Chain A
Amino acid sequence: MDWIVGFLVLIIKLALVLGGLLLLAAYLVLLERKFLGRLQIRYGPNRAGPFGVLQPLADTIKMLTKEDAVPEAADRVLFLLAPAVVAAEALLIFAVVPFGTSVTLLGKKIPMVITDLNVGLLFVFALASLGVYGVALGGWASNSKYSLLGGIRGAAQMISYELSLGLSLVPIVMLARSFSLVDIVRAQANYPFILVQPVSFTIFFISAMAETKRIPFDLPEAENELGAGYHTEYSGMRFGLFFLGEYVNLQVFGALVAVFFLGGWRGPILPPVVWFLVKILAVSILMIWVRGTLPRLRYDQLMHLGWKVLIPVALLNIVITGAVLLL
């Protein structure tokens, strides 16, 4: 009996998180288009419903009803699987993200996290590093020059910035003394880690933008040279999955910035889940703002920034944090 209740609670939590993520992803697209429009002194989508609030629904119907075309010379199985890899790895990361304190319901304690792995942070990295395959294989399987170039660029960029992403979080693990995301939030009870680790925060934020392939790091899909990069040949909902993966990733990095640097779900007055959403949205809006402000980097600038600036600074930051902790 007990495990049936536990199983039911788990299924309900999974459904809520999945539904919330997909809904938020759809409306982040709208938010991005609206906000970018304002930054570029135009309206953005405003035809479907009042202020364009039904635009995500219209887009979804359009993508679901479009033909799912596979190019003649493509590697069929890999071509069909690649978008699913991108979307699935982004959604799975949320399995270890804590949304709030545990709630007591009918005398049972229900933790507001799907699973509290003791290697949670490494789980996040394992999944984030698998996102490369969706991009690289999608680009390769399309059997088109633009897609292949996009895929190769994507792979090179993501493995380069994964290093600085990982190294920037080592000081956080040293401060929290745990890999578990729940413990990391617990360790920030007195002050958020952004106050003691501003360097870490900056490196993580820049690397996260590079990992999500957003402007100024969108070389894998640079439209003026590569068509649309690795997803040039995709249509319909398979393109939609790449798109969905991108916006779920935006939420993932918003949530991770909140968990590692902004104290997770902690905040005064408002309930924890609301604070967590506010923090995710704040980080997402900042990323959209950056997109509307900066031009795209050149390829050599991208590699220079990753390998010669971010990684050495991250390593130095680890040494200094270690020294301070030992004192």
Chain B
Amino acid sequence: MTLYGIIFYILAAVIVIATGLAITRRNLVHAVIYLIISFFGSAMLYFLFGAPLLAALEIIIYAGAIMVLFLFIIMMLRVDPTALRRPSLRHWLPAGILGIIYLAVAALVVITDPGSQATLKTAMARPRALGQFLFQRYWLSVEIISFLLLIALIGALYLARAFLKESREQSEGEL
């Protein structure tokens, strides 16, 4: 096994264990931290595979922004970590079915793909090359996703507006 192989298996173990812990922790803040560790593992995996841009974006966006928002909400709400809540069948059934489908597809890929035995050469994607590839080949998908995000942004603004108006009327009523 090469050095890269050893690093790969260590990272893979870290990701799997951290994600498992993130799902099973009852204390939400601890769960968020394990998830951040898992994101770090995947970022290092991207770096190992020669995609430093992707690695940096994974840390900035997922570990640095989205998980901070999760943490922020958890800290604001102060959820009681000791309360035992069992999710109902309706909640976990779709997740379970999707999980089984995902597992089946992964097993199918591993069994049928003849290329899985070949060792990949370590390559390096420079940020400029990755950007050009993305915007030349997949510009339409990029535009569609950014449009979707814009709609979500406007939607959030609309919801907050309605809420703001309501609370303002309430406070005026109190006066």
Chain A interface residues (CB < 8 Å from chain B): 75, 78, 117-119, 122-123, 125-126, 129-130, 132-133, 136-137, 139-140, 148, 151-152, 155-156, 158-159, 162, 179
> Is B53 touching A155 in the complex (CB atoms < 8 A)?
no
Chain B residues within 8 Å of A, Cβ to Cβ? 29, 33, 36, 52-53, 55-57, 59-60, 63-65, 68-69, 71-72, 75-76, 126-127
Interchain Cβ contacts under 8 Å between A and B, 7 examples? A126-B64, A130-B59, A133-B68, A133-B71, A140-B29, A140-B75, A162-B65
Contact pick for B75, options A75, A78, A136, A159, CB 8 Å: A136
Is the Cβ of B57 less than 8 Å from the Cβ of A132?
Answer: no
B53 and A132 contact, CB distance less than 8 A: no
CA–CA, A191 and B66, complex, Å: 38
17 more CB-based (< 8 A) A-B contacts, given A133-B68, A133-B71, A152-B72: A117-B52, A119-B52, A122-B53, A122-B57, A125-B60, A129-B60, A129-B63, A129-B65, A133-B36, A136-B75, A140-B75, A155-B68, A155-B72, A156-B72, A159-B72, A162-B65, A179-B127
Known A75-B29, A119-B127, A130-B64: A148·B75 in contact at CB below 8 Å: yes
Main SS at interface, chain A: helix
A129 lies within 8 A of B33 (CB):
no
Which 3 pairs show the lowest CB-CB distances between chains A and B? A129-B64, A122-B56, A126-B59
Distance A201 CA – B65 CA, assembled complex (angstroms):
24
Q: How far is the CB of A309 from chain B (nearest CB, A)?
A: 18
Contact A78 B56 (CB under 8 A): no
CA distance A104 to B34 in the complex (A): 45
Residues of B within 8 A of A155 (CB): 68, 71-72, 75
